């Protein structure tokens, strides 16, 4: 697969596939915004468990801090 004249690595292609599969799962199972946000939180919990299990703690902290900030920025406008 090529995006912006760059050839993606095998890991990037696989990551895109997994991301698409998760979004499809959300679309099929979420009945409302609350379900979607709760599912996102559950996915973050699973991600945290896997990152801390598979990476050096410093690397896991760096990824979690970056990703959590992104998630909060996305969710914050939806909180009433």
Q: What's the confidence (pLDDT) of residue 77?
A: 67
pLDDT tens track for 17-52 = 998 999 999 999 999 988 888 888 888 888 888 888
Angle at CA of residue 47, ends 7 and 29, nearest 5°? 90
Of the two residues 75 and 39, the one the predictor is more confident about is: 39
Q: At 42, phi and psi to the nearest 5?
A: -65, -40
SS3 of 7, please? strand
Contact predicate 68/41, CB 8 Å? no
DSSP state of 41: H
Q: What's the confidence (pLDDT) of residue 44?
A: 82
pTM of the full structure? 0.60
Return the bridge partners of 6, or none.
Answer: 3
Of the two residues 67 and 14, the one the predictor is more confident about is: 14
């Amino acid at each position: 697969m090529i995006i912006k004249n760059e050839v993606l690595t095998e890991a990037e292609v696989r990551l895109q596939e997994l991301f698409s599969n998760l979004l499809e799962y959300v679309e099929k199972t979420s009945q409302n915004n609350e379900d979607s946000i709760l599912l996102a939180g559950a996915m973050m919990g699973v991600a945290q468990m896997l990152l801390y299990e598979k990476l050096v703690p410093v690397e896991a902290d760096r990824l979690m801090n970056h990703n959590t900030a992104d998630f909060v920025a996305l969710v914050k406008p939806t909180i009433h």
